[in-house]
């Protein structure tokens, strides 16, 4: 079982204090306004960090890409790149990540619904064509049908993180844990919960022990 802590802070010193250098941690840059110099400091602070910068409706796209480039250049373990990014910027990030031995997560997010399995596998094939280290699919799971379609992806892909948000988002994460997903996103403090459906680190660790029969 591998967990990935999600973290964000608006101030640099608070963020650095709350990063556990021994734990895989996703730094959500979209919740802050860090300068390039500050981002460099963050990603030199630990070698177990994932750089993520979702569209927050206020940061220009070019700045988001620049922030991810700085994170890669300063030692990010992974970079999360959205498949819907403009092709030129998307490929630039992939190439830069390769140059700096930064692993890639190519992701797709659908916060409105879970498409049928045919559409989901089509998206996965598109992502797979770029040979990322990990495929990540996030959809809204409000029904058992949604959950079945999303979880079915684990039967077709090994290095995939398929997680739900919405009413059954929590259950999707328990199933992902049982299916041995590369890692599950979680939080150590409630303020770091960024989407509906995330389960706390403490609860996931307990569930992991149960699944292992410990």
> What's the pLDDT score for residue 211?
84
Report the 10 Å Cβ neighbour count for 174: 17
62 with 34: CB under 8 angstroms?
Answer: no
Whole-number Å distance between alpha carbons of 97 and 81: 10
Query: How many Å apart are CA 146 and CA 35, to the nearest integer?
Result: 39
pLDDT band at 161 (very low <50, low <70, confident <90, very high): very high
What average pLDDT does the segment 84-108 reach? 96
pLDDT of residue 212: 79
CB-based burial of residue 41 (10 Å sphere; 0-12 exposed, 13-18 middle, 19+ buried)?
middle
Tens digits of per-residue pLDDT, 10-26?
A: 999 999 999 999 999 99
DSSP element (H, E) containing 137: strand 134-140
User: In this predicted structure, what is the pLDDT of residue 116?
Assistant: 97
What confidence score (pLDDT) does residue 1 get?
A: 62
* pTM score: 0.95
Give all domains of the chain, ordered by start, each with its CATH number: 3-105+167-211 (3.20.20.70)
Taking each helix axis as running N to C, give the angle between helix 61-73 and helix 36-45, from 0 to 180 degrees, rounded to the nearest 10: 40
Tokens (6 digits) for 19: 């990063």
Q: Tell me the per-residue pLDDT of 51-71, one tens digit each, with 9 for 90 and over.
A: 999 999 899 999 999 999 999
The pLDDT tens digits for 182-212 are 999 999 999 999 988 999 999 999 998 888 7
CB atoms within 10 A of CB 176: 22
Q: Is the pLDDT of residue 213 over 80?
A: no
Distance between CA atoms of residues 5 and 188, nearest Å: 7
Structure-model confidence comparison of residues 211 and 156, the more confident one: 156
Burial class from Cβ neighbours inside 10 Å (0-12, 13-18, 19+) for residue 133 reads middle
Mean pLDDT of the chain, nearest integer: 95
pLDDT of residue 42: 98
Under DSSP, the state recorded for 69 is: H
Residue 80 in contact with residue 107, Cβ under 8 Å? yes
Burial of 139 (0-12, 13-18, 19+ CB in 10 A): buried
């Amino acid at each position: 079982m591998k967990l990935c802590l999600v973290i964000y802070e608006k101030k640099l010193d608070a963020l650095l204090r709350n990063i556990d250098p021994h734990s895989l941690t996703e730094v959500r840059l979209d919740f802050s306004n860090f300068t390039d110099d500050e981002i460099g400091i963050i990603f030199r602070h630990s070698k177990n960090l994932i750089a993520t910068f979702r569209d927050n409706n206020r940061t220009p796209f070019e700045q988001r890409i620049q922030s991810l480039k700085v994170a890669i250049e300063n030692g990010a373990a992974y970079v999360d790149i959205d498949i819907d990014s403009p092709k030129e910027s998307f490929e630039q990030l992939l190439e830069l990540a390769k140059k700096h031995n930064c692993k890639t997560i190519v992701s797709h997010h659908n916060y409105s619904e879970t498409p049928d399995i045919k559409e989901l596998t089509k998206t996965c094939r598109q992502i797979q064509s770029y040979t990322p280290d990990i495929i990540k699919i996030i959809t809204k799971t409000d029904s058992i049908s949604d959950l079945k379609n999303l979880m079915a992806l684990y039967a077709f892909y090994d290095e995939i993180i398929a997680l739900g948000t919405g009413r059954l988002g929590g259950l999707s994460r328990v199933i992902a844990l049982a299916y041995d997903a590369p890692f599950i996103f979680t939080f150590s403090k409630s303020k770091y919960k960024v989407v509906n459906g995330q389960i706390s680190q403490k609860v996931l660790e307990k569930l992991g022990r149960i699944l292992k029969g410990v």
